[in-house]
């Protein structure tokens, strides 16, 4: 039986969901492939795509970037976490390489801990990385806060050089640390549910505009649901509360894509996961400002050509102008000429992995 080891950063759910989509496509090609998931991302994320047919162990090959809140990176925590991680990196790499050899793993797929490339190289097996950004790019930008981050970026780049191939997603920067790159289409989920039926189950009236709040921490004073345009309903999962917010029932917790496709707009911070699903399901995006994270600029530059999108400034957020921002977004969406975008990236990535495993 072919075996694939999968390393995923625990930095955000978007990394886990796009990997899960690729693994689902791979299983369609190789039904008996053995999937060894090694990540601190929640196991439940993968169960929705793969059922229980995978092996899971919470292993961290990176620290990601800490967050003070949904708007700001935590530079101090990030510096401290990586300083604590690096002295153990050699031991961790040796242990993981031995694990790959012992389990007869044929290839490594990763999104996008740099150490995963080194682990695969030590084990003498091919590796495929996938992302729209790389940690060397993010930390090179952090070097303006502390030269330590510049040294860390160079370290990451040396590890990425060991990758067999980087699968370069849209909505990002060129993955220049990787010597061999292959651009692939979006990895994104399309809803196949009946939009009208989802809206009926939610109790939405015909013509009512629904805005899905896709934020893990939405307790911001500026997100005032009382200032919404007439006929607008916010949909939330409990972290964003108040008048004008419809709390979604538990049966929708695992149906994010269906909820997104049934909505008239999404409120989120800008990141690949939510942006790609808005593109795939043709839903406008209102995004909060995201400071100190270099992924944002190239993502928004490309996103502006693909969907109606509007950013909220810090001032608009602090002054509670959510309603005005939504009015602007709806006006932009009303005249938007939607175009089909290739979202077959999961199948393309699965083909690459298939070639490594057979």
Residue at 134 is within a domain: yes
Mean per-residue pLDDT for 97-119? 98
Please tell me the distance from the alpha carbon of residue 149 to that of residue 138, in angstroms, as a whole number. 9
Per-residue confidence (pLDDT) for residue 219, from 0 to 100: 57
Residue at 138 is within a domain: yes
Task: Look at residue 132 and tell me whether its pLDDT is greater than 90.
Answer: yes
Mean per-residue pLDDT for 281-300? 94
Residues 94 and 242 in one domain: no
Per-residue confidence (pLDDT) for residue 292, from 0 to 100: 87
Residues 271 and 178 in one domain: no
Residues 182 and 317 in one domain: no
Residue at 339 is within a domain: no
Q: Name the 3-class secondary structure at 118.
A: helix
Residues 138 and 256 in one domain: no
Per-residue confidence (pLDDT) for residue 159, from 0 to 100: 98
Report residue 5: phi and psi, to 5°: -90, 135
Mean per-residue pLDDT for 333-346? 96
Please tell me the distance from the alpha carbon of residue 272 to that of residue 147, in angstroms, as a whole number. 28
Per-residue confidence (pLDDT) for residue 216, from 0 to 100: 66
Question: Starting from the edge strand earliest in sequence, which strands make up the sheet with 209-214, in order?
Answer: 245-247, 232-236, 209-214, 265-268, 285-287, 309-311
Residues 218 and 269 in one domain: yes
Residues 178 and 207 in one domain: no
Residue at 38 is within a domain: yes
Task: Look at residue 256 and tell me whether its pLDDT is greater than 80.
Answer: yes
Name the helix (H) or strand (E) containing 27. Answer: helix 13-29
Residues 156 and 41 in one domain: yes
Is residue 146 a contact partner of residue 273, using CB atoms and an 8 Å limit? no
Residues 171 and 202 in one domain: no
Task: Look at residue 237 and tell me whether its pLDDT is greater than 90.
Answer: no
Per-residue confidence (pLDDT) for residue 49, from 0 to 100: 83
Token pair for residue 263? 């909505």
Task: Give strand pairing partners of 35.
Answer: 4
Report residue 22: phi and psi, to 5°: -65, -40
Residues 219 and 136 in one domain: no
Higher-scoring residue by pLDDT: 231, 308: 308
Please tell me the distance from the alpha carbon of residue 78 to that of residue 142, in angstroms, as a whole number. 10
Residue at 110 is within a domain: yes
Please tell me the distance from the alpha carbon of residue 188 to that of residue 279, in angstroms, as a whole number. 8
| CATH code at position 167 | 3.40.50.2000
Task: Look at residue 275 and tell me whether its pLDDT is greater than 70.
Answer: yes
3-state percent breakdown (helix, strand, coil) of the chain, nearest 5: 45, 15, 40
Please tell me the distance from the alpha carbon of residue 80 to that of residue 83, in angstroms, as a whole number. 5
Q: How many CB atoms lie within 10 A of CB 1?
A: 9
Per-residue confidence (pLDDT) for residue 7, from 0 to 100: 98
Per-residue confidence (pLDDT) for residue 14, from 0 to 100: 86
> Domain total for the chain?
2
**Lowest mean pLDDT segment, chosen from 261-265, 316-320, 341-345:** 316-320
Task: Look at residue 6 and tell me whether its pLDDT is greater than 90.
Answer: yes
Per-residue confidence (pLDDT) for residue 77, from 0 to 100: 97
CA triplet 117, 17, 53: central angle to 5 degrees?
85
Give me the chain's average pLDDT, please. Answer: 92
Per-residue confidence (pLDDT) for residue 254, from 0 to 100: 77
pLDDT tens sequence across 177-232: 999 999 999 999 999 999 999 999 999 999 999 999 988 655 565 566 667 888 89
Confidence of residue 255 (pLDDT cuts 50, 70, 90): confident
Residues 117 and 228 in one domain: no
pLDDT tens sequence across 67-98: 988 888 999 999 999 999 999 999 999 999 99
Is residue 301 a contact partner of residue 283, using CB atoms and an 8 Å limit? no
Per-residue confidence (pLDDT) for residue 13, from 0 to 100: 80
The proportion of the chain whose per-residue pLDDT surpasses 90, expressed as a percent, equals: 77
Residue at 243 is within a domain: yes
Per-residue confidence (pLDDT) for residue 92, from 0 to 100: 98
Residues 181 and 199 in one domain: no
Confidence of residue 10 (pLDDT cuts 50, 70, 90): confident
Domain of residue 128, residue span: 3-187+344-357
Residues 21 and 159 in one domain: yes
Mean per-residue pLDDT for 293-320? 93
Q: How far is CA 280 from the centre of its chain?
A: 14
DSSP state letter for 204: P
């Amino acid at each position: 039986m072919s075996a694939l080891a999968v390393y995923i950063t625990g930095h955000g759910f978007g990394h886990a969901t796009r990997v899960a989509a690729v693994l689902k496509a791979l299983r369609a090609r190789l039904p008996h492939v053995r999937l060894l998931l090694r990540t601190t991302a929640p196991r439940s994320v993968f169960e929705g795509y793969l059922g229980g047919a995978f092996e899971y162990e919470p292993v961290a090959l990176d620290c990601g970037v800490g967050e003070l809140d949904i708007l700001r990176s935590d530079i101090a925590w990030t510096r401290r976490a990586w300083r604590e991680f690096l002295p153990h990196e050699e031991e961790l790499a040796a242990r993981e390489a031995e694990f790959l050899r012992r389990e007869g793993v044929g290839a490594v797929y990763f999104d996008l801990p740099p150490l995963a490339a080194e682990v695969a190289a030590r084990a003498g097996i091919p590796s495929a990385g996938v992302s729209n950004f790389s940690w060397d790019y993010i930390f090179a930008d952090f070097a303006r806060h502390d030269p330590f981050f510049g040294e860390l970026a160079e370290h990451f780049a040396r590890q990425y050089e060991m990758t067999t191939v980087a699968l370069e997603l849209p909505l990002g920067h060129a993955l220049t640390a990787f010597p061999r790159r292959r651009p692939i289409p979006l990895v994104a989920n399309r809803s196949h549910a009946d939009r009208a039926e989802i809206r009926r189950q939610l109790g939405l009236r015909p013509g009512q505009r629904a805005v899905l709040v896709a934020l893990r921490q939405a307790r911001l004073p500026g997100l005032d649901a009382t200032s919404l345009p007439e006929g607008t309903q916010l949909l939330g999962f409990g972290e964003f509360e108040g008048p004008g917010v419809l709390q979604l029932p538990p049966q929708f917790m695992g149906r994010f894509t269906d909820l997104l496709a049934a909505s008239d707009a999404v409120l989120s911070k800008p990141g690949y996961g939510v942006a790609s699903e808005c593109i795939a399901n043709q839903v406008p995006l209102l995004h909060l400002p995201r400071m100190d994270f270099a992924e944002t600029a190239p993502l928004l530059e490309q996103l502006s050509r693909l969907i109606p999108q509007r950013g909220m400034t810090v001032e608009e957020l602090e002054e509670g102008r959510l309603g005005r921002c939504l009015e602007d977004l709806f006006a932009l969406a009303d005249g938007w000429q939607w175009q089909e975008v290739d979202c077959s990236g999961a199948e393309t990535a699965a083909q690459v992995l298939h070639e490594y495993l057979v």
